[in-house]
Amino acid sequence: MAVYFHEEDLPADVLQGDAPLAVDTETMGLITPRDRLCLVQISDGSGDEHLVRFGPGSSYDAPNLKAVLGDPKRLKLYHYARFDLAAIEYYLGVTAAPVFCTKIASKLVRTYTDRHGLKNLVEELLGESLSKVQQSSDWGGPNLSDAQRDYAASDVRFLHRLRDELLVRLEREGRLEMAQACYDFLPTRARLDMAGWAEHDIFSHA
């Protein structure tokens, strides 16, 4: 297992094929148009993780990464896809779908708890430990520390295995179809966030 670090784009010869891709992003904050995309993490589940960093003033001209993320035939695995889809579409200009979101799956089947963070899922479903110490660190600095790189890689390291576990539970509880409908809507939900409806439930009566 190795973590590979790239500047501004993926090399042309990596992450080829049709295996599902685990994807995550790191940004300068939580408001997509304001807080620039700094890092995209991606893995095909083979044991390696790839980190693509974008510097201040980046043009986000990353044809290899865009081709991989925008491939409509490859499933993308996320934890809280709503945020990552928005960041990727806003800065890279691609819709990184189709989608499986482990956070949504968890909320549909782990109704016995309100703890749906990635750390919680990794501990309960996989029996492993995940550190979140670097979660709120400065991702826009000139250098990323080893701790930041390891944290970023770990955010995609477990998603393939989590999907396998959550699929079993979704099928067991009869909620696969409901989950899929949620995943299909996520790109639109991300666009609603970017268009100003992040804090408003357009389906509510009010």
How sure is the predictor about 133, in pLDDT bands with cuts at 50, 70 and 90?
low
Q: Is residue 94 part of a domain?
A: yes
Q: Is residue 206 part of a domain?
A: no
Q: Is residue 74 part of a domain?
A: yes
Domain that holds residue 111: 3-197
Q: What is the pLDDT of residue 174?
A: 98
Q: Is residue 203 part of a domain?
A: no
Q: How far apart are CA 107 and CA 24, in angstroms?
A: 19
Q: Is residue 90 part of a domain?
A: yes
CA-closest candidate to residue 33, choices 200, 195, 206: 195
pLDDT tens for 149-200 read 999 999 999 999 999 999 999 999 999 999 999 999 999 999 999 999 999 8
**CATH number for the domain that contains residue 80:** 3.30.420.10
Please state the domain count of the chain. Answer: 1
CA-closest candidate to residue 83, choices 64, 70, 71, 99: 99
Least confident of 27-31, 102-106, 130-134, 138-142: 130-134
Q: Is residue 148 part of a domain?
A: yes
pLDDT tens for 47-59 read 999 999 999 999 9
